[in-house]
Structure 1
Amino acid sequence: MRSRSLITAVAAVLTSVGCTQVTPPTVRESRTVSAVFSNIAETKSLDPHLAFASESVLFVRQAYDSLLEYKPGGTETRPALATKWESSADAKTHTVTLRSGVRFHDGSTLDSAVVKTSVDRLLEINQGPATLFGNVDTVETPTADTVVFRLKNADAFFPGMLPKLPIVSKKAIDEHKTADDPWAKEWFTGNEAGSGPYTLGTWERGKAITLNAFEGYWQKFEDGTPTKVTLRTDPDVTTAVQLMCQGQVDMIGGIGTDQTDQAAACADVKAVEQPKLGVNTVFFNLKAKGPVSDVRVRKAIALAVDYKAYLEYFKGRAQEARGPLPPGAVEFEPPFPAFAQNLDEAKRLLADAGYPDGGFTLSYLGLKGLAWEEFFGTLLEQNLKPLGIKVKQTLVAWPQMVSLQGNPETAHDLSFLVLNMVTPDPTSILRNYTTAARADKGGMNWAYYSNTGLDEQLGQISGILDETQRLNVLREAQQSIIDDQVAIWLPSSNIYQPVAKKWEVSYEPIDFVVMVRFFYARES
């Protein structure tokens, strides 16, 4: 087996010393450059150690910096708050050297004690982003500008996770903590204390968050870089498209192909297309007290899906699905077969399971406003009709969707979720199938799938330093998930989003599909 050059290159970076310096841009002009971004959902919290959904990360990446960052629009790791990093030969010790002169928005300065406090806070809160750092054993601060991470187990991909570690002001924690709230979670819910390029201006809940350029940022703003950013919430995508065509919105995140085409047809709008390291996933609820609790029924339903029709929906801007890992993450030899419709086999499996004529109804849950999720619900209804299975489709807003799926008693039989790699480690997406990631524990395992053997495998993969051996275990893990038919894996669409023509911008393929880092956007 072999991996794609992308992952091979990333792995090489992760196990070497990173010494590349980021060249500071020139000082920005005094003019105000405004960018308006529309998203379908709004974050519930501004706390970077709680926020992990796409609408939350959209804010966090603007206000907070991490030790390392990804090159805009890519997966290559490069310096940020740390100027260099080094990994030991056994991948259990990772040392970073901090950048000097970095100030937080509250005026405090960066040092190793601040970084250690951020890690401690993240792990103590133990939500969202903490799932990436459970392997951290100790954090040592031998000098003011040196931080040493010692891991419980070897992890060749650990440096690639550091862009997902937002560093917060220790001063802010100390000033706003209480006896009942030692990590100042209440204060951070509606406030920020980062060192990123933008500070929080206003938050009008349900409508918009405004951000302003941080004058004391350690990098300088080039001309054309946004100095004011507005993060709008527009649950109705049609409204967002109309506003873009009227020149009131500059960028939109996470909308469908048809909606992007509609926006791009306007005079001053273009479409931006990039590869995406994500998978369109339709989870089965394995806790459901009904037919989908039987793996034969789940396989029959998956075999009934017209994958070709779903692929054609994206008009050539998608790739065939071959399992829970996205195209572009890892290439296996031999490759996993692409999924295809087979109604005869579907009927045979249903009969074996005791449902020769179907005779039951499935509930399907999708996100309101996302056309491709609604399209799949309609396609599923058509595909299952010949099997005697009915589908009841429900489309709701994101907060309601999370609430429903977070309780196995209210979770639907099938639910659509776009899963993305969030680090260069392929298991960053597979961990959504672990017991610890179950939805009732705050994770994205909407299937309520539990496989202790898989849990153990996924905990070992990043510590296997031999690439061939690592890919063998990775293949076994993916095969286990496929064999249990935990979900229906649909063709993976590219990032294809509308942007005002005056902007040059990249979406972040490894940081959810709606993500833009505005400091790297340029108005022409």
Structure 2
Amino acid sequence: MRTARPKAAARAFAAVIAIGLIAAGCASDRDDDDGSGDGTGPFVFGAAGDPAALDPSLGSDGETFRVTRQVFETLIEHEPGGTEMVPGLAEEWSSNEAGTEWSFTLRDGVTFHDGDELTGEVVCQNFERWYNWSGTYQNTTLSYYWQSVFGGFAENESEETPPPNYVGCTAPDELTAVIEVAEPSANYPGGFSLQSFALQSPTAIEAMAADDPSGEGENITFPNYSQEAGVVSGTGPFQISEWNRSNGEITLERFDDYWGDAAGVEELVFRTIPEEDARRQALQAGDIDGYDLVAPADVETLVADGFQVPVRGVFNLLYLGITQENNPALEQLEVRQAIAHALDRENIVNTQLPEGGVVATQFVPDTIDGYSDDVTTYEHDPELAQQLLADAGAEDLTIDFCYPTEVTRPYMPAPADIYELLKADLEAVGITVNPVALKWNPDYTETTRDGGCGVYLLGWTGDFNDAYNFLGTWFADYSREWGFENQELFDMMSAASTEPDVATRVSLYQGLNEYIMDYLPGVPISSSPPSIAFSPDVNPPTVSPLTQENFAEVTFK
């Protein structure tokens, strides 16, 4: 080995000292002034898409909830890294024997970001706000989760809105709230953990009442309060300080009066970077400290370069949805079967998904109780697909195929690439495909929900560990997204949902999965374990199969 001469060695040593001082100076930017090691941040996370709103009760997608989860809290939470329910704002919860009354004992001393105190009455104010929504709020674009979990409103304004299951809320004392529902449901208690039912302060609720959304159908305008910082107010470890739409950044600041452990960084920034390649490059360049939905092909490279790429557990499903309404050919079972046999789903798993991805046989992943081993399966068989189309008189079938742009999802890492492969499969059996590319938020989510596509790509990451959270999301009743009436299926869903015995309910779910795959309202494609990436100098949060990471756990090394 070549040795340095004395003067060169001295210069080299001085350079090392200088570099060390620079590094120490950079490191100090991550620390508090008291030297405690708490990072001042900012911790910058690359998000795949913009949130729809800063009010979680108006959200229905992961990009919205990723942001709001850091700011707003629910009565019940999930354990870090798992699916077991644990105390949130409620230290304890219980129900009556019928499952129609849910009592919550609240934490004492919880303060909202605007100084209001959490009480039982505040819980009731939130639930009564949602229950009494009117006008545009009753559109599922804004109240999707309320309608899915608690039904309709005090005064339904559309025949398509389900009857309300929520009855009322009372606060027998300062730290107790009792929520009553008309009928028991598999949605409870899991529904109380949903970010859509995170609590806002009384002051915020009052301010929100003066600002309504507008529009209808696919032309919904969210209320102004939900599109900028200043009105919404939660109890979480961070509070929102700014939403800068010009550069796609939402900035959160640590809430110093948080009731729990203080956040590990003073500032948390979510920066929207729609393209996965751009997110990876931003991480490699040091412009961001982490990003979600790592492309499977990038995992090995990132790990080799020293980046941290933890993998979540499998708790999601990608499917090809089929809207039967407005397309008579798609109402025919033979045509839906032909589409299923046309798709090479194994190819999707092998080329587009991370290691651990599997072909889905039904509308729940195999990690959920209620999964059945006896469902009808649809192997890739182009010849059979062509025969089925001929039998149905649909050899010249033309369909609009919707897919999202400017986004990646945990179950769908590369929407355009997956679309191209499935499009080629359909065209190979003689189906003419009209591509319809739409921006994810709000165009794609609204269009698919309103039945504006022939077929489309969508998926689901479970909110809590019950098969109804998957099956009930899609098939509990008529929806324009699927566009079919099947009362037998709806009745089976209702029976499973209201069954109080868990073992019996699981058996009913298995029967439902078998019935659904015979009826074939759409084609389950795959389930996969999504990856998330962090820089080497970060202590990352515990990754969640529910994609419910708590960024307050983040610190810099």
Q: Which moved more, 1:449-458 or 1:87-96?
A: 449-458
Maintained 8 Å contact 2:397/2:431 = yes
Q: Residue 117 of structure 1 aligns to a residue in which SS?
A: helix
Q: Residue 269 of structure 1 aligns to a residue in which SS?
A: coil
- How far apart are 1:90 and its partner, in Å? 2.8
Counterpart AA for 2:454: D
Question: Which structure 2 residue ranges, 5 or more long, are not aligned?
Answer: 1-34, 152-164, 214-221
Counterpart AA for 2:387: R
Counterpart AA for 1:327: D
1:110 has 2:118 as partner: yes
Structure 1 residues 379 and 255: alpha-carbon distance in aligned structure 2, compared to 1, 3 A threshold: same
1:198 has 2:242 as partner: no
Match of 2:275 in 1: 236
Q: Distance in 2 between matches of 1:290 and 1:451?
A: 16
Match of 2:539 in 1: 503
RMSD in angstroms over aligned alpha carbons? 2.7
Q: Distance in 2 between matches of 1:499 and 1:179?
A: 39
Out of 345, 348, 351, the residue aligned to residue 387 of structure 2 is 348
Match of 1:295 in 2: 333
Out of 394, 397, 415, the residue aligned to residue 373 of structure 1 is 415
Counterpart AA for 2:366: P
Maintained 8 Å contact 2:249/2:269 = yes
Structure 1 residues 331 and 459: alpha-carbon distance in aligned structure 2, compared to 1, 3 A threshold: closer
- How far apart are 1:338 and its partner, in Å? 5.1
Q: Distance in 1 between matches of 2:379 and 2:266?
A: 48
Q: Residue 150 of structure 1 aligns to a residue in which SS?
A: strand
Q: Distance in 1 between matches of 2:176 and 2:132?
A: 22
Q: Distance in 2 between matches of 1:255 and 1:448?
A: 34
- How far apart are 1:217 and its partner, in Å? 0.1
Please give the per-residue CA displacement for 1:151-186, whole angstroms capped at 9, x wherever unaligned.
2112365122222120110122235533979xx954
Maintained 8 Å contact 2:276/2:295 = no
1:464 has 2:508 as partner: no
Match of 2:12 in 1: none
Match of 1:145 in 2: 175
Structure 1 residues 348 and 227: alpha-carbon distance in aligned structure 2, compared to 1, 3 A threshold: same
Q: Distance in 2 between matches of 1:323 and 1:180?
A: 40
Match of 1:401 in 2: 444
Maintained 8 Å contact 1:63/1:194 = yes
Q: Distance in 2 between matches of 1:290 and 1:453?
A: 21
Which is greater in Rg?
Answer: 2
Maintained 8 Å contact 1:283/1:417 = yes
Structure 1 residues 407 and 155: alpha-carbon distance in aligned structure 2, compared to 1, 3 A threshold: closer
Q: Which moved more, 1:52-61 or 1:150-159?
A: 150-159
Q: Residue 491 of structure 1 aligns to a residue in which SS?
A: strand
Structure 1 residues 233 and 212: alpha-carbon distance in aligned structure 2, compared to 1, 3 A threshold: same
TM normalised by structure 2 equals 0.79
Counterpart AA for 2:332: D
Match of 1:429 in 2: 470
Maintained 8 Å contact 2:106/2:120 = yes
Maintained 8 Å contact 2:111/2:259 = yes
- How far apart are 1:494 and its partner, in Å? 0.9
Structure 1 residues 254 and 262: alpha-carbon distance in aligned structure 2, compared to 1, 3 A threshold: same
Maintained 8 Å contact 1:244/1:263 = no
Q: Residue 200 of structure 2 aligns to a residue in which SS?
A: coil
Out of 209, 218, 229, the residue aligned to residue 250 of structure 2 is 209
Maintained 8 Å contact 1:435/1:451 = no
Maintained 8 Å contact 2:51/2:63 = yes
Match of 1:249 in 2: 288
Counterpart AA for 1:117: Q
Structure 1 residues 29 and 132: alpha-carbon distance in aligned structure 2, compared to 1, 3 A threshold: farther
Structure 1 residues 179 and 71: alpha-carbon distance in aligned structure 2, compared to 1, 3 A threshold: closer
Q: Distance in 2 between matches of 1:218 and 1:428?
A: 30
Q: Residue 189 of structure 2 aligns to a residue in which SS?
A: helix
Question: In the comparison of the two structures, how many residue pairs are matched?
Answer: 480
Q: Distance in 2 between matches of 1:462 and 1:435?
A: 9
Q: Residue 96 of structure 1 aligns to a residue in which SS?
A: strand
Structure 1 residues 263 and 368: alpha-carbon distance in aligned structure 2, compared to 1, 3 A threshold: farther
Please give the per-residue CA displacement for 1:205-245, whole angstroms capped at 9, x wherever unaligned.
251100000000001226xx232111111122222111111
1:133 has 2:157 as partner: no
Structure 1 residues 194 and 437: alpha-carbon distance in aligned structure 2, compared to 1, 3 A threshold: farther
Q: Residue 479 of structure 1 aligns to a residue in which SS?
A: helix
Maintained 8 Å contact 1:504/1:522 = yes
Q: 5 Å matches for 1:3-14? A: none
TM normalised by structure 1 equals 0.84
Structure 1 residues 177 and 362: alpha-carbon distance in aligned structure 2, compared to 1, 3 A threshold: closer
Q: Distance in 1 between matches of 2:475 and 2:354?
A: 34
Q: Which moved more, 1:51-60 or 1:461-470?
A: 461-470
Q: Distance in 2 between matches of 1:229 and 1:89?
A: 43
Q: Residue 251 of structure 2 aligns to a residue in which SS?
A: strand
- How far apart are 1:365 and its partner, in Å? 2.0
1:74 has 2:116 as partner: no
Q: Distance in 2 between matches of 1:483 and 1:430?
A: 15
Match of 2:364 in 1: 325
Match of 2:310 in 1: 272
Q: Distance in 2 between matches of 1:484 and 1:504?
A: 44
Maintained 8 Å contact 1:435/1:450 = no
Maintained 8 Å contact 2:250/2:271 = yes
Counterpart AA for 1:429: F
Counterpart AA for 2:237: P
- How far apart are 1:268 and its partner, in Å? 4.0
The percentage of aligned residue pairs carrying the same residue is 22
Maintained 8 Å contact 2:376/2:517 = no
Structure 1 residues 256 and 390: alpha-carbon distance in aligned structure 2, compared to 1, 3 A threshold: farther
Maintained 8 Å contact 2:38/2:555 = no
Structure 1 residues 390 and 155: alpha-carbon distance in aligned structure 2, compared to 1, 3 A threshold: closer
Counterpart AA for 2:465: P
Counterpart AA for 1:280: L
Maintained 8 Å contact 1:282/1:487 = yes
Structure 1 residues 397 and 66: alpha-carbon distance in aligned structure 2, compared to 1, 3 A threshold: same
Match of 1:364 in 2: 401
Structure 1 residues 368 and 193: alpha-carbon distance in aligned structure 2, compared to 1, 3 A threshold: same
Structure 1 residues 169 and 297: alpha-carbon distance in aligned structure 2, compared to 1, 3 A threshold: same
Q: Distance in 1 between matches of 2:303 and 2:485?
A: 43
Maintained 8 Å contact 1:264/1:498 = no
Match of 2:161 in 1: none
- How far apart are 1:339 and its partner, in Å? 4.2
Maintained 8 Å contact 2:186/2:468 = no
Maintained 8 Å contact 2:321/2:522 = yes
Maintained 8 Å contact 1:321/1:339 = no
1:483 has 2:534 as partner: no
1:122 has 2:157 as partner: no
Maintained 8 Å contact 1:198/1:211 = yes
Structure 1 residues 359 and 319: alpha-carbon distance in aligned structure 2, compared to 1, 3 A threshold: same
